[in-house]
Structure 1
Amino acid sequence: MNSSKLIIVFLFLCCGYFSFAQNATVKGVILDQENKPVADVNVSASGNVSQSNSNGFFEIEIPSNKKTVLVFTHISLKMMSLTVVLKPSEIFVFNPVMSNSEEQMGEVFVSSKNKKRVQGITIISPETIRKIPGANAGIENILKTLPGVNSNNELSSQYAVRGGNYDENLVYVNEIEVYRPFLIRSGQQEGLSFTNTDLVQNVDFSAGGFQAKFGDKLSSVLDITYRKPTQFGAVLEASFLGGSVAVDAVSKNKKWSAVTGVRYRNNSLLVNSQDTQTNYTPTFADIQTNVNYDISEKWQMSFLGNISQNKYLYQPLTRETKFGTIDKPMTLNVYYEGREKDQYDTYFGALKTTYKASPTLTFKLIGSLFHTIEKEHFDILAQYRLGEVNEDGSPVSDNINFTRGIGTQLNHARNDLDALIANIEIKGFKEWANSELEFGLKYTRESIRDRVVEWEVIDSAGFSINPPLVVLPKDNQPETPYTGPLLPYQNIRATNFNDINRFSGYAQWNNKTELGSNEIWYTIGARFQSWQVSGAAIEGKNQTVFSPRAQFTIKPDWDKDMVFRISGGLYHQPPFYRELRDANGEVQPNVKAQQSVHFVVSNDYNFKMWNRPFKWVTELYYKSLSDVNTYSIDNVRIRYVADNNAKSYAQGIDFRLNGEFVPGTESWVSFGYLKTEENYENKGFIARPTDQRLKFAVLFQDYMPNIPSVKVYLNLVYNTGLPGGSPSYSDPYLYQNRLNDYRRADIGFSKVFIDSNTKVAKANWLKKFKELSLGIEVFNLFNNQNAITNTWVRDAYSKNQYAIPNYMTSRVFNVKLNARF
């Protein structure tokens, strides 16, 4: 992109104003009866003529607010016609299938009835998800480039949205809620997220103000649909980080179809780029399948299944971290013994049946079962040396001229968890002329068997360090002998056998009407949930919450294609098991649901720039939270206080510009501002652990002008520092240290040997492939030193503590092969 275009984009970001054409646009891909693209189709309308390219793609401008007939003609196929009425600047996507028999399509009156646009849902292309590079590539990798979505850990698939934490996000696959393991404490232990991107058809995301039909969480909804294949196909991907295979299968009578994927991942390439040298033997693998069966035209069934096994074997050897200032450089050297051995086995199955009782009435019955068996066992002894470094250029380990601190740390854990979660749900959908009624009822039973045994012993300069939160006899050594007990620095022991029964339901009414010449949509709905926690030695009280929610959308009758939305309501998050367990590992059965009064005001604006489609989205939001369950975050591990003794708020504004900066590709620029604070026991407001003030991100796709088969993909994220730099045991009102800003750029280059636009001879070996590409990815292109937490080390002389950053991955190179059959 040349400099003049960059200047134009920058001016648009500042003022957000462009003039509009008075025409509308029809575009799409023309296919034949074998589902193959058709080139050289003439498309004519109102004197304008266009032609489809080798990929079957066409685009034509037509007059707006006027009945227009589009005619599709081809030398070997029968003519097709379509009558449309479009609003000014409306973009109507139409993918016709041309056959040997002439077809006359009906009239189509398009007036911005796109439900997802009306609901404020962001649509993410599966193709973009597969192509954009990232250390943990997938859907979550793309979410982190959206405004309001934050993560400072490239090894993790977890994300925080608008001041919430990782446990406040809903994830659905085919309308079925999915879960993640409970005990994972480090991003490098995750391996694979649940969603297999090779199986995905649609990805929708809402960052807040979502409707009552979605569940009981405070922050966001990720709604994923796996595809229902129509013909045989296969996808293969292989890289230095692992590989995957996905297969589409269809029966001869077309009643059965299935898409199945197998994945394997190994993070050794990334972990070996960190400061800590390790013997690292992880194996992350899973298999997923989505099977569909059409019993009749009115009745369909489907099965979604997943089996995953994550084995994490970690044996740290040494660590050398340089920090300090130019005039006073320092280093931390650590020597380890012991190892960590974790395993997370999860099994998930869901059966869904859909029955269309009439053209306007549909019922769905969904049953699912999730079982996770998790083991977290480690004994790691670390002996450290903190010293000042000479500046003569010799190796750091041989160049320490003054040792400021030495010590030993022993960490032990034997944590085991077995959880079984069963769901059964019925949904209904009734449609009238301009309105819809959606309703549902769900029962969930959660059975948790959990044992926590973990402790830490710290020795500094030959002295055992007592726990920071326990009052002990005054130590006057060496004048007076110490008579107090020798205690572990941290000691958590608990056994929890608990069952949780939940009933939930929702109803919402969606309606479309007009106010003068303006179009209006509104949704009114409410949810409820009732639950009770029980166990061998505890019996919690029954609790019930109600959550009314509403959305109002208006599309003014303007030449400019704008939509305005206001949404919100009362949102509740009844506690899941992790939220019930306090910092000592004990379950508090009467923890209340966190409550949020949430308001979102937004505008999206479709326009054309450089004669290509673009969209500018602005969202202003505010959340007022009560009964807040405060927490601390260490890497990706969340520990709750479990007492509901706080209140908080989150406020901010998000901007996003997306469109075809390069013809035929989607890119976007995002910016977000967030402020979130909490007040615990009326001590005053302080920053929450997810208070990430500024966020800037770019997702960009391009190709080399002289070599169009060479593609370029860029993923750039900048986040200001999180308040996560204090010791985990510290009082947050005394320590509000922030980590440094997070800066990361990942770039990928891909050579496409064949795709749908490539013409090859029948004898060419490439004819076997639908797509084949080979790429090189560079993670952390500028080799930024991003820290996820700090390690705190004592100075034996000054009695001070030093914050040594725990750096994430450095620059890493990866090679990736993609093939489609």
Structure 2
Amino acid sequence: MNVKKKQRQLLIFHSIKPNFRYFVVLLRFFLFLPLLLFSNKIIAQDLTVIKGVITSEKGELLSGVTIQVKDTRLITQTNREGEYLLNKVPLNATLIFSRLGYKDLSLDFGLLSDKDNIQNIILITDIQSLDEVHITERFNSSNSISIEAAKFSSFPQTSGSFESFIKNLPGVSGNNELSSQYSVRGGNFDENLIYLNDVEIFRPMLIRSGQQEGLGFINPDLASSIFFSAGGFEARYGDKLSSILDVRYSKPDSLSLEAQAGFLSSSATLKLPLKNGFFLAGIRNKKNQSFLGRQNIEGEYHSGFSDYQFLLRQNISSKLNLSLFGLYNGGEVKISPDKRITEFGTSDDVLRLFVNYEGEESSNYNALNSALTFSYNASNSLNFKWINSIASINVEEQADLLGWYSFNEKEGGGLNPSNGGSLLGMGSNQTFSNNYLKSLIYNTELRMYKQVKSSFFEMGVRFQSDRIDDRIDEYTAVDTSGYAFPDQGNWMYSGLIDQQNLVKIRRFSGFVQNTFSLRPNLMMAAGVRLNYNTYSKENMISPRVSLMYNPGHRDHLLIRFSAGTYNQAPFYREIKNYNGSLNAAARSQRSFQLITGTDYKFNGLGTRLKFSSEVYYKILSRITPYKIEDLKIRYLSDKMSKGYAAGADLSISGNFAKDLESTFRISVMKTEEDIKDDFYLSKDAQGNQITIRPGYLKRPTDQLFNIGMMFQDRLIQNPTYKVHLNLIYSSSLPVGPPGPDRHTDQFKIPAYKRADIGFSKDLADPEGKRSSVFIKKYFQALSLHAELFNLLNFKNTTSYLWLNDKMANQYAVPNYLTSRMFNFRVIAKLKSR
């Protein structure tokens, strides 16, 4: 008896009178039983598995895409890698792919039953609908912005680190082109989170001045998607106060070989799709000699930095896959200074410092990171991920420098080098250090993702173990009585530290979060984090909520609101006092953040423009004060303070030339803190000693204005020629002499001004008028880049050397950053065969 005949019989039974109800139920059971027993094989042959990756037309991985088998309840969504999987799909099925901001796609498939069917999909942007990532982005922060990794290779930049590119985003500032450190809305670099495929990245902690910094841990050539949030991020992210940078390395579309070579750096990248996975590998190298030699200290500079990374993804079965990630990042710098001549002041009052050096300083670091991740798709709506990672970072600093200096005031001012002027002071100074720090950090985390109708649940638990072994042996000696050796003269020692610290901390954390639609145009993400550590022994709870609303106006408008608490448990640097000892009473830093913002899209200036704005207020209820000395953050762990940070970030962007985005941004910010029980002694006009309580002080990152512009354009007659301009203006920062007293930070580092320009020629552009047959045949992309850094040759200051003259007056001698420099590089991407 066939299936259609049985269905007709069921229709007959449905028409039987109600008093035969139980008889009908029993008869149904016996009719269906043989059908279920004998048709399993037939059903199995009629159903199959379909999976794949969904991207935009720009190649961006799209998560949160809904895939549904038409006229059924069989439905799923893509994960963070843009991957989807559906089981028990009919062989002749119609699949509907939908995502807000993209055109719906309906495809009829003729699938095979004897194997997995792989169907990679490209969705096209719908210009008539809102194409904001975070309105339907189930896996990305409501306050995050998407960054195209390809932009990094186009813009002129000196450090070679992708992290330095973050400085061009609203709310972010950085005053040193040699460093990848950045400050976000009044926070310091230790308050920023970096994730790579859900693995938290830890960085060296001894690096100072930017000279020792090499390549950042993110390889932009391997990145498929990058998201950045300047605050108000969701509960699924970790326990830091300021920002998150979330980077994904994912499956490539095809075999890719890419190489870059220039005066400053070189790199090579391999992307290899496999039958059941993919393999990525990248190599980067950089040398800083030419840059370091352009500072105001003459001498011999030797530097070398390298980075090696790989990611292997393998599908063990249709439901289980594993990822193996490995990274080595290292560098070494040796400096043998010879002399230094620094002139500063005004044109009418020029001061001059001359120093002769003897000795050298060096630093080196090596970081090893590895991670093993298992992903299991239990069903179309339930996924698990188990993440295991380990980071080993060793850093060494050695210095033994002796300097003889003379400090003069030029007579009559002027900048004539022969004008010796009057002597203000002379003496000797010695800097000694023999430090090392070894970090070993292990963590394991289990995450679950569950789709329930219009709600998307995420939860996870994590364990982390920190072992820090720190050896500090350093001092500074100054003799202001004249030129002398350490065993002669009137030497005064400061910054004397001889300390050995071994710290072991266990950390436990977890989160639960739900993202759901309250209304068709209103989405909400609500969650809570919990964490505990064995050092401060605190139980901390961090509730967080965000709303995203699209009023549905004619022009695209998105309104965002976020609120939540952020608790940053003390890491090693936060528990180390200024003198190198450990503070057993160290506690977590806490803040409450309120953020509201809008994204508005409109037509103007001949293109489609996007205006973004965010206003924020951070209540810093408990924070640890710190000083920044030559980029190195030194905490005053034995003190506690409260404060605030408030400001606004505005930006407008658009494509004024085809496929080239330009952005203008401005940020206004104020941040202060009040250190508990802080005071110092002074004298009044009558010479009586008085106690002064300074109250609220500017935080070291208090920067009123931060303005930037990234502009790109093409030549009208030949669009293969492009120009890339990067402008930055960051207002002054508070600074003071070395020492643990924050109230002395009354001096200012002048505003940071920077203009970098680059010119490029795309030799493989299809629009090129004259393209070589050889290039078309073998190269997918080939471009030449000529760059001029610090175009206007601004004399930017990174820090100060503090000296006293013979009258005990203190002077801040500026340490200048790099001057104008030219760079050339070639980027090539081979065609796969």
Q: TM-score, normalised by structure 2?
A: 0.81
Are the counterparts in 1 of residues 97 and 106 from structure 2 also a CA contact under 8 Å?
no
Residue 181 of structure 1, aligned match among 195, 204, 227:
204
Q: Give the drift of 1:262.
A: 0.7
CA distance in 2, matches of 1:738, 1:703: 40
1:571 aligns with 566
Residues 682-717 of structure 1: CA distance to partner in whole angstroms, max 9, x if unpaired? 541110000011011001111111221111111111
Distance change >3 Å, CA 611–CA 355, structure 1 → 2: farther
Are the counterparts in 2 of residues 760 and 766 from structure 1 also a CA contact under 8 Å?
no
Partner of 2:512, secondary structure, is strand
Residue 441 of structure 1, aligned match among 461, 470, 486:
461
1:549 aligns with 544
Are the counterparts in 1 of residues 720 and 765 from structure 2 also a CA contact under 8 Å?
no
Q: Give the drift of 1:465.
A: 14
2:532 aligns with 530
Q: Give the drift of 1:228.
A: 1.5
CA distance in 2, matches of 1:263, 1:553: 40
Are the counterparts in 1 of residues 613 and 649 from structure 2 also a CA contact under 8 Å?
yes
Partner of 1:129, secondary structure, is helix
CA distance in 2, matches of 1:156, 1:373: 19
1:384 aligns with 405
2:643 aligns with 648
Residues 512-559 of structure 1: CA distance to partner in whole angstroms, max 9, x if unpaired? 131xxx6111111110111013xxxxxxx5222111111112111322
2:754 aligns with 744
Q: Give the drift of 1:767.
A: 2.3
Are the counterparts in 2 of residues 202 and 224 from structure 1 also a CA contact under 8 Å?
yes
Q: Give the drift of 1:141.
A: 2.8
Residue 123 of structure 1, aligned match among 146, 149, 157:
146
Residue 401 of structure 1, aligned match among 421, 428, 431:
421
Taking the TM superposition and a 5 Å limit, the aligned residue runs for 1:200-279 are: 200-251=223-274, 254-279=275-300
Q: Comparing 584-593 with 455-464, which one deviates more in the overlay?
A: 455-464
Tell me which amino acid in the other structure corresponds to 2:713. D
Residue 430 of structure 1, aligned match among 450, 459, 467:
450
Residues 425-484 of structure 1: CA distance to partner in whole angstroms, max 9, x if unpaired? 001110122111100000000011111010110011339999xxxxxxxxxxxxxxx9xx
Partner of 1:144, secondary structure, is helix
Distance change >3 Å, CA 181–CA 392, structure 1 → 2: closer
Residues 72-126 of structure 1: CA distance to partner in whole angstroms, max 9, x if unpaired? xxxxxxxxx999999xxx963789999999x999999996485525612111111
Aligned length: 711
CA distance in 2, matches of 1:229, 1:84: 21
2:37 aligns with none
2:501 aligns with 496
Taking the TM superposition and a 5 Å limit, the aligned residue runs for 1:283-294 are: 283-294=304-315
Taking the TM superposition and a 5 Å limit, the aligned residue runs for 1:749-764 are: 749-755=759-765, 757-758=767-768, 763-764=773-774
1:819 aligns with 828
Q: Which runs of 5+ in 2 are unaligned?
A: 1-54, 60-93, 112-119, 137-141, 678-692
Q: Give the drift of 1:29.
A: 4.5
Are the counterparts in 2 of residues 82 and 104 from structure 1 also a CA contact under 8 Å?
no
Distance change >3 Å, CA 803–CA 662, structure 1 → 2: same
Taking the TM superposition and a 5 Å limit, the aligned residue runs for 1:71-86 are: none
Residue 148 of structure 1, aligned match among 171, 183, 208:
171
Are the counterparts in 1 of residues 157 and 756 from structure 2 also a CA contact under 8 Å?
yes
Matched, 1:163 2:182: no
2:728 aligns with 717
CA distance in 2, matches of 1:137, 1:661: 27
**RMSD value over aligned CA atoms?**
3.1
Q: Give the drift of 1:278.
A: 2.0
Q: Give the drift of 1:754.
A: 1.0
Taking the TM superposition and a 5 Å limit, the aligned residue runs for 1:19-58 are: 29=57
Tell me which amino acid in the other structure corresponds to 1:692. Q
2:515 aligns with 510
Partner of 2:268, secondary structure, is strand
2:358 aligns with 337
Partner of 1:754, secondary structure, is coil
Q: Give the drift of 1:804.
A: 1.3
Q: Give the drift of 1:763.
A: 4.8
Matched, 1:696 2:701: no
Are the counterparts in 1 of residues 288 and 303 from structure 2 also a CA contact under 8 Å?
yes
CA distance in 2, matches of 1:94, 1:281: 56
CA distance in 1, matches of 2:396, 2:282: 26
Tell me which amino acid in the other structure corresponds to 2:205. F
CA distance in 1, matches of 2:581, 2:546: 40
CA distance in 1, matches of 2:315, 2:95: 30
1:310 aligns with 331
CA distance in 1, matches of 2:124, 2:778: 41
1:519 aligns with 521
Q: Comparing 291-300 with 373-382, which one deviates more in the overlay?
A: 291-300
Taking the TM superposition and a 5 Å limit, the aligned residue runs for 1:333-372 are: 333-372=354-393
Tell me which amino acid in the other structure corresponds to 1:707. N
Residues 110-161 of structure 1: CA distance to partner in whole angstroms, max 9, x if unpaired? 9648552561211111111121111124432321111210110110001000
CA distance in 2, matches of 1:114, 1:232: 30
1:133 aligns with 156
CA distance in 2, matches of 1:677, 1:203: 31
1:52 aligns with none
CA distance in 2, matches of 1:310, 1:93: 47
Q: Which runs of 5+ in 1 are unaligned?
A: 1-26, 32-80, 467-481, 534-540
Q: Give the drift of 1:615.
A: 1.1
Partner of 2:164, secondary structure, is helix
Partner of 1:200, secondary structure, is coil
Partner of 1:713, secondary structure, is strand
Distance change >3 Å, CA 288–CA 95, structure 1 → 2: farther
Are the counterparts in 2 of residues 85 and 108 from structure 1 also a CA contact under 8 Å?
no
Q: Give the drift of 1:590.
A: 2.9
CA distance in 1, matches of 2:628, 2:121: 61
CA distance in 1, matches of 2:783, 2:123: 41
Q: Give the drift of 1:494.
A: 0.8
Bigger RCO of structures 1 and 2 (CA < 8 A, at least 6 apart): 1
Are the counterparts in 2 of residues 465 and 489 from structure 1 also a CA contact under 8 Å?
no
CA distance in 1, matches of 2:110, 2:538: 63
CA distance in 1, matches of 2:757, 2:121: 47
Tell me which amino acid in the other structure corresponds to 2:532. S
Distance change >3 Å, CA 286–CA 525, structure 1 → 2: same
CA distance in 1, matches of 2:414, 2:742: 40
Q: Give the drift of 1:739.
A: 1.1
Are the counterparts in 2 of residues 616 and 658 from structure 1 also a CA contact under 8 Å?
yes
Matched, 1:635 2:646: no
Tell me which amino acid in the other structure corresponds to 1:801. Q
Matched, 1:459 2:479: yes
Matched, 1:194 2:217: yes
Distance change >3 Å, CA 99–CA 334, structure 1 → 2: farther
Residues 594-613 of structure 1: CA distance to partner in whole angstroms, max 9, x if unpaired? 00011001111122225532
Identity within the alignment, %: 35
Are the counterparts in 2 of residues 218 and 572 from structure 1 also a CA contact under 8 Å?
yes
Q: Give the drift of 1:591.
A: 0.8
